[in-house]
Structure 1
């Protein structure tokens, strides 16, 4: 787990009700047996010193069974404010039900539609299980989520960038995801690009802003090259604001 790259990213959105909204976006923590309690505590301290309206975590929180990292997961519950999260493929593999129990202070968003009140306005937020959920006999309720996201303004959370088309087809204002680790080790970026439409950063398609978070943790080997880990504040700016 690397905590070196704290950044604020400005994202243009098409709905003025989202103007100046600040979202703490975390992804791909990959907490495992080697992750230390001090690393988790440092992450929480860094995040709790930041100014944001709510937090989202776009999957792959764990990289081992919860029973081995229960104490570490409990520390995550100290993250301030509302925290919305969805499943990643590693969460599904190592035990989503146990993860939900461990993150008792978070809001689980797989197949869930919710609302956030911001400056007396309603923001519609929805989440989808990871695309591997079918292998775990978990249904992705895409039609329900698509219909809900037609309400404006709206935000979709999913683990993989591949789900961006759901956001586009629903005219969602913002789509947040992770999964890619930004390629993690250059030049593996090119391999990732063969299977994912986006690797990292901001992209705009139609009326939807897309942000792919490079994540905090690593997978396979604890090393990154030209794909720094990130803790990111997304500051939304309405195109209509002069």
Structure 2
């Protein structure tokens, strides 16, 4: 894992009930045989010093078979000792074995095609997730209809997916916040331009109608352990109501 940049990003949202909420957004760790235990310890140490309400991991936690990295995943599990951790699958998680990953990350809450509610300052907030688009190639259910129906009926929701392409589900249902990863911010310039040919957003904060969209560059790398003009990131998203701002 490259040395990550810790960012605090202020996100303007239409809904006052989300004002002041702080989310630790991680993505695309791509833990494999070469991923060092010291890198996970470093991640835990950084997160321990941050102020947030819960963690969201938007997919691609692993990049090899789980049996080769059990010790590393057991260590990552300790992230939940700080705050609740909600995650969804990425294409690499599905390819290398989502069921095995679920067993090792027993302290994390998998949100594929699920919703859950949490209390924030006496108000109910929903977290809604969906399986990655890659799931269909492995006969894994991806329930867009279920996610869309819930988001439409519950505007006090945060929608999480792996790929930026799923932002349309959030926008269509006037969901205040959509979080994703997958792109690595292009990882190595000039591949940024290739990513933009297949994804609507590269990285960072965007607004579409009533939805704020954040695309994480992620923590790990894919293919080769190198980044250029696309630093890895650990992000605190601080939600601010437009009526307060």
Please indicate the TM-score interval, normalised by the length of the shorter structure.
Answer: over 0.9
Long gaps (5+) in structure 2: none
Structure 2 residue 15 is the aligned partner of structure 1 residue 15: yes
Alignment deviations for residues 188-215 of structure 1 (CA, whole Å, 9 cap, x no partner): 0000000000000000001000000000
Find the counterpart in structure 1 of residue 147 from structure 2: 145
Long gaps (5+) in structure 1: none
Q: CA RMSD in A?
A: 0.7
1:152 is displaced (CA, Å) by 2.2
Structure 2 residue 193 is the aligned partner of structure 1 residue 207: no
The separation in 2 between residues aligned to 1:178 and 1:185, in whole angstroms, is 16
The separation in 1 between residues aligned to 2:214 and 2:240, in whole angstroms, is 14
Alignment deviations for residues 23-52 of structure 1 (CA, whole Å, 9 cap, x no partner): 000000000000111111111111121110
Find the counterpart in structure 2 of residue 55 from structure 1: 55
The separation in 2 between residues aligned to 1:167 and 1:4, in whole angstroms, is 28
What pairs up with 1:56-205 in 2 under 5 angstroms? 56-79=56-79, 80-150=82-152, 151-205=154-208
1:154 is displaced (CA, Å) by 0.9
Give the paired residue count: 242
What TM-score do you get using the length of structure 2 for normalisation? 0.97
The separation in 2 between residues aligned to 1:195 and 1:138, in whole angstroms, is 23
The separation in 2 between residues aligned to 1:211 and 1:127, in whole angstroms, is 15
The separation in 1 between residues aligned to 2:97 and 2:4, in whole angstroms, is 29
Between stretches 206-215 and 149-158, larger displacement belongs to: 149-158
What TM-score do you get using the length of structure 1 for normalisation? 0.99
The separation in 2 between residues aligned to 1:221 and 1:180, in whole angstroms, is 15
